[in-house]
Amino acid sequence: MTELLSHITSVLSPFLGRRHWLIGYSGGLDSHVLLHLIWRMREQAHLANKPFPVLSAIHVDHQLHNCSTDWAVQCAAQCSDYGIPIDIRSVEVGSGRQGLEALARAERYRVFEEVLGEDGALLLAHHQDDQAETFLLRLMRGSGVAGLAAMPVMRGLGRGILYRPLLDVPKAELERYASVYKLKWVDDPSNEDVHYRRNFLRHKVMPVLAEVWPGYRSKIVDAAELQSEAADLLSSYLNDDIDRLRGGDGSLDLLGLADFDRLRQRAILRHYVYLHFGVRLDKAQSDELVDQFLKSSQDSQPVFSLGKYLTLRAFSGRLYCERGTGGEVFDPSAEWDWDSLQDCLVGGVGKLSAESGGDFVPRGKITIRFRQGGERCHLAGHAHSKSLKKVLQELMVPPWQRERLPLIYCGGQIAAIADLAICEGYKVKPGECGIALRWRWNR
Q: Do 294 and 170 share a domain, yes or no?
A: no
Nearest alpha carbon to residue 341 among 435, 240, 408, 443: 435
Judge whether 259 lies within some domain. yes
Q: Which residues pair with 120 in a beta bridge?
A: 20
The answer to whether 312 and 303 are in contact (CB under 8 A) is: yes
Task: Fill in the DSSP letter of residue 247.
Answer: -
Q: Do 179 and 287 share a domain, yes or no?
A: no
Judge whether 356 lies within some domain. yes
Judge whether 63 lies within some domain. yes
User: What is the count of structural domains for the chain?
Assistant: 3
d(CA 329, CA 392): 23
H-helix or E-strand spanning residue 413: strand 413-417
Q: Do 217 and 342 share a domain, yes or no?
A: no
Judge whether 229 lies within some domain. no
* DSSP, residue by residue, 36-84: HHHHHHHHHHHHTT----EEEEEEEE---STTHHHHHHHHHHHHHHHT-
d(CA 9, CA 1): 13
d(CA 111, CA 44): 30
pLDDT score recorded for residue 192:
82
pLDDT score recorded for residue 443:
62
Q: Do 35 and 150 share a domain, yes or no?
A: yes
- Of 206, 222, 238, the position where a domain reaches its end is 222
Enclosing domain of residue 264: 246-323
88 burial level (CB within 10 Å; 0-12, 13-18, 19+): middle
Q: Do 254 and 299 share a domain, yes or no?
A: yes
The answer to whether 61 and 88 are in contact (CB under 8 A) is: yes
Q: Do 344 and 403 share a domain, yes or no?
A: yes
Q: Do 51 and 196 share a domain, yes or no?
A: yes
d(CA 86, CA 24): 10
Q: Do 75 and 13 share a domain, yes or no?
A: yes
Q: Do 186 and 316 share a domain, yes or no?
A: no
Residues 6+ apart with CB under 8 A from 14: none
pLDDT score recorded for residue 1:
60
Q: Do 412 and 305 share a domain, yes or no?
A: no
d(CA 217, CA 11): 20
Q: Do 64 and 102 share a domain, yes or no?
A: yes
d(CA 132, CA 209): 11
Judge whether 238 lies within some domain. no
Judge whether 232 lies within some domain. no
- Of 274, 296, 323, the position where a domain reaches its end is 323
pLDDT score recorded for residue 278:
81
- Of 189, 206, 222, the position where a domain reaches its end is 222
**Which amino acids are annotated as binding site for ATP, given as ranges?**
26-31
The answer to whether 53 and 18 are in contact (CB under 8 A) is: yes
Q: Quick one: angle between helices 68-82 and 29-47, nearest 10?
A: 20
**What's the average pLDDT block by block, 10 residues per block, for the chain (443 residues)?**
88 95 96 97 96 96 86 95 95 69 86 91 96 93 87 92 96 95 88 86 92 92 93 94 91 92 91 87 83 73 78 89 67 84 79 90 91 92 93 91 92 92 93 90 72
The answer to whether 438 and 340 are in contact (CB under 8 A) is: no
The answer to whether 256 and 298 are in contact (CB under 8 A) is: no
pLDDT score recorded for residue 253:
93
d(CA 123, CA 31): 9
Q: Do 252 and 214 share a domain, yes or no?
A: no
pLDDT score recorded for residue 348:
67
Judge whether 177 lies within some domain. yes
pTM of the complete model: 0.72
- We report the CATH number of the domain holding residue 318 as 1.20.59.20
**Which amino acids are annotated as binding site, given as ranges?**
26-31
Q: In 267-406, where do the E strands start and end? A: 303-305, 310-315, 318-323, 336-338, 344-346, 350-360, 366-369, 376-377, 386-387
Judge whether 276 lies within some domain. yes
Over the stretch 185-210, which tens digit does the pLDDT of each residue have?
Answer: 988 887 888 888 889 999 999 999 99
Over the stretch 224-253, which tens digit does the pLDDT of each residue have?
Answer: 999 999 999 999 999 999 999 998 888 999
Residues 6+ apart with CB under 8 A from 30: 125, 126, 127, 130, 166, 171, 174
- We report the CATH number of the domain holding residue 99 as 3.40.50.620
Q: Nearest-5° angle of CA 324, CA 313, CA 437?
A: 65
Euclidean distance between the first and the last CA atom of the chain, given in angstroms as a whole number: 47
| 79 Rama class: left (phi>0) / alpha (psi -120 to 50) / beta | alpha
The answer to whether 304 and 284 are in contact (CB under 8 A) is: no
